[in-house]
Structure 1
Amino acid sequence: MKIAIISVSDKGHELANRLKEKLDMDSTIIKCDLYHKNVKEHFPILFYEYDAIIAIMASGILIRSIAPLVESKVTDPAVINIDDNGKFVISTLSGHLGGANELANKVADLIDSTPVITTSTDVNKKLGIDVLAKDLYLRIDNTKEILFFNKAILEGREITFTLNPNRNFDYLFDYLRKVTLEIYVLFSYSSDVDTDEIHVSLDGHEMVLKERKIVAGIGCRRGKECKFIHDGLKKSLDDLKILPSRVNMLTSAEIKKDEKGILELSEKMNIPVRFVEIDKLKLFESCDVAKSEFVYSKFGIYGVCEPSALIMAGFDSKLIYKKTSYDGVTIAIAVSK
């Protein structure tokens, strides 16, 4: 997640700096930038350049600033509002698909404040269909049906998930077992459903949840044992609350194509591994990729795990876990649009 923190007062600016220090330590936060004052100039840019905006200011200023920019729950960034004293963290816009509710809870923990969540499914302890889709990195084909299904869930009605019987959906079953919010689901199976899709239906209403491709990029020192690579990947997936069965691909640079530890990991986890050509890595450009002069001096490329993950996840993919080191192993995770 790429976050912008904007403040208007000196006190708010101090809080913004403290919060940025904490967020920068979080591998799931790809970048965090600070803005101060000039809200009318900044908001039109922040709204389209960041996944989330943390506004430390009075709610009136915030609402007037974003009102002309709001378009859709599908495209709007997450917006949370914090008072200057940091007492309350309010999920203001795009609570589910944008992740404002989750971010509000995260920030509240970091600054020891009270999160304020107002979405009806959450306050009634129900699992919204859009929350499930976001948590499991599923794309919703017909977002207009979200309201119908969430209303049905609020009413305690049973919805049907139709799955392909030849696909491992352990990640879905495990998620539903662990989630503390209520949802009543009947499972059915059909070979007519694509293996990367979950069909949701009730009373003639239908939507398709389609898996976005999750790719784990791996870098490691020569000869690193499978166990250590596995440990690093597991820690990264745990941070994201992603089960290994949800990962679609492992990847690294072609210079690692004979790396025994990576090949063993692919076999052990039953996840395919693909290696990216050096020429592609040399040409790849992204402002979100961390550049390593050490890697460049050895291989002529500025990075392995981040660019490999982004390339294999496809055009317009994004990092959801920045390069993180684990004793000679680096892990980065990207997801397709």
Structure 2
Amino acid sequence: MKVAIISVSNKGHELALKLKEKLDNDSTIIKCDLYHKNVKKYLKIAFFEYDAVIAIMASGILIRSIAPFLESKVTDPAILNVDDNGNFVISTLSGHLGGANALTNKVADLIDAVPVITTSTDVNKKLGIDVLAKDLYLSIDNTKEILYFNKAILEGKKITFLLNPDGNYNYLRNYLSENTLEMDVSIECLSEINTDEIHVCVNEHNIVLKEKKVVVGIGCRRGKECRKIFEGMKKSIEDLNIDISRINMLSSVEIKKDEEGILELSEKLDIPVNFVELDKLKLFTSNDIQKSEFVKSKFGIYGVCEPSALITAGFDSKLVYKKTSYDGVTISVAVSK
């Protein structure tokens, strides 16, 4: 998640500096930039260029400033509102699909504030269908149905998940067993369903959830054993709350194609690995990747795990876990659009 923090007062700016320091240490925060004063100018930039905006200011200033840009819960960024004293963190916009509710809880915990969340499913301790899609990196074919489904969940109606019997949906089953709360859920198998899709039904209404490609990028020192690579990967996906069965592919650079630790890991997990050509990595550019001069001096590229994950995930993919080091292993995670 790319985050912009915008403050107005000097006191708010001090809070922004402290918050940025904490968020910079979070591997799920790809970058965090600070903006101070000139709210209308910077909010317009942040609204369209970041995944989330943390506005440390009065709610009236925030609401009037973002009002002209509001479009849809599907495309609007997460907006959080924080008071100058850091007493409250309010999830203001895009609580579910945009991730504002989850970020609100994270920020509130970091600055010891009270999180304020008002979405009906959350306050009634129910799981929204859009929350499920967000958490499991699934796209929703008909977002207009979200409201109907979440209302049905609140009313206690039975929600049926239709799955292909040949697909690996352990991640969904595990997620539902841990998060359904009081939802009335049933799971049925239907061979007509594509293996990368999940059909969700209630009464005559239907939503199709489609898997985005989740790719784990791996960089490692020569001869790093499988166990050590897996330990780093496991820690990363735990940070993201991703079940290992949700990983679609591993990736690294072609000079690692004979790296026994990576090959063994791919075989043990039954997850294919893509070794990206060196020339593709040399040509690849992104403002979101971390550049290593050491890797550049040795291989002519600025990095391995981040760019290889993004290339493997496909055009317009995004990092959801930035390069993080684990004892000679670097891990990142990218997700397709």
Amino acid at match of 1:287: N
Question: What is aligned with 2:177?
Answer: 177
Q: Within 1, Cα distance between the matches of 2:9 and 2:167?
A: 53
> What whole-Å deviation, never above 9, does each CA across 1:80-100 have from its counterpart, x for those lacking one?
000000000000000000000
Is 1:76 aligned with 2:68?
no
Amino acid at match of 1:244: I
Question: What is aligned with 2:301?
Answer: 301
What TM-score results when the alignment is normalised by the length of structure 1? 0.99
Is 1:28 aligned with 2:22?
no
Q: Within 1, Cα distance between the matches of 2:68 and 2:125?
A: 32
The sequence identity of aligned pairs, in percent, is 76
Question: What is aligned with 1:252?
Answer: 252
Q: Within 2, Cα distance between the matches of 1:295 and 1:60?
A: 48
Instruction: Give the superposition deviation at 1:183.
Output: 2.0
> What whole-Å deviation, never above 9, does each CA across 1:168-202 have from its counterpart, x for those lacking one?
11101111111264322111111110101000112
Amino acid at match of 1:284: F
Question: What is aligned with 1:234?
Answer: 234
Count of paired positions: 337
**SS in structure 1 opposite 2:209?**
strand
Question: What is aligned with 1:93?
Answer: 93
Question: What is aligned with 1:332?
Answer: 332
Question: What is aligned with 2:288?
Answer: 288
> What whole-Å deviation, never above 9, does each CA across 1:124-146 have from its counterpart, x for those lacking one?
11100000000000000000000
Amino acid at match of 2:268: K
Which portions of structure 1, spanning 4 or more consecutive aligned residues, are displaced by more than 4 angstroms?
Answer: none
Amino acid at match of 1:324: T
**SS in structure 2 opposite 1:29?**
coil
Q: Within 1, Cα distance between the matches of 2:164 and 2:51?
A: 32
Structure 1: 5+ residue stretches without partners:
none
Question: What is aligned with 2:150?
Answer: 150
Question: What is aligned with 1:2?
Answer: 2
**SS in structure 1 opposite 2:198?**
strand
> What whole-Å deviation, never above 9, does each CA across 1:240-274 have from its counterpart, x for those lacking one?
00011000000000000000000000011110011
Contact 2:157 2:202 survives alignment (8 Å): no
Amino acid at match of 2:320: I
Q: Within 2, Cα distance between the matches of 1:76 and 1:86?
A: 24
CA RMSD of aligned residues (A): 0.7
Question: What is aligned with 2:47?
Answer: 47
Bigger Cα displacement from structure 2, 180-189 vs 318-327: 180-189
Structure 2: 5+ residue stretches without partners:
none
Question: What is aligned with 1:323?
Answer: 323
Amino acid at match of 1:145: E
